[in-house]
């Protein structure tokens, strides 16, 4: 018995799971627990853990799709941005918890790209546009 009947159901199931993780992160950690957590290392560990959870959820659902390029792009974007996030986080801890504004802004943007469902959604939208364009030809 198959869990999903077609690629559209697989894609939207992954989108819903990532959206649940994203909203749970903001409701539980950002609006609640992060205000009381003092060690910066623990905040970074939670953030990297959530980013990895989103990565593995997307990998699990995109890996089941017929379009293998989506999974490849997912890996490239997440691994490179997660590596950048970890490097900036290590620099932040080494420099005494203060980053220049531009670097902090970059850190926040990378974090948002990694954990939000927007990247997953845009990949699905791009795939849909490519399929429609291919069917025209």
pLDDT in tens, 72-99: 888 999 999 999 988 888 887 787 767 7
* Between 135 and 16, residue with greater pLDDT: 16
Question: Where does residue 97 fall: left (phi above 0), alpha (psi -120 to 50 degrees), or beta otherwise?
Answer: left
Q: Give, rounded to a whole angstrom, the gap between the first and last alpha carbons of the chain.
A: 35
Beta-carbon-side half-sphere exposure of residue 114 (alpha carbons within 13 Å): 26
Q: For residues 33 and 5, give the distance between their C-alpha atoms in angstroms, rounded to a whole number.
A: 39
* Between 49 and 39, residue with greater pLDDT: 49
> What pLDDT does residue 42 have?
81
Q: For the residues 49-75, what does the mean pLDDT come to?
A: 85
pTM, two decimals, is 0.83
* Between 10 and 51, residue with greater pLDDT: 51
């Amino acid at each position: 018995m198959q869990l999903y009947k077609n690629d559209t159901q697989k894609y939207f199931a992954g989108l819903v799971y990532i959206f649940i993780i994203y909203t749970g992160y903001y409701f539980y950690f950002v609006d609640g627990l992060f205000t009381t957590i003092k060690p910066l290392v623990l905040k970074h560990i939670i953030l990297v853990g959530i980013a990895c959870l989103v990565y593995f959820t997307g990998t699990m659902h995109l890996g089941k799709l017929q379009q293998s390029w989506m999974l490849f792009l997912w890996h490239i974007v997440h691994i490179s941005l997660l590596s950048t996030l970890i490097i900036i986080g290590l620099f932040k801890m080494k420099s005494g918890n203060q980053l220049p504004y531009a670097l902090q802004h970059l850190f926040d943007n990378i974090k948002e790209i990694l954990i939000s469902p927007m990247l997953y959604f845009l990949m699905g939208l791009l795939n849909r546009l490519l399929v429609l364009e291919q069917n025209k030809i």
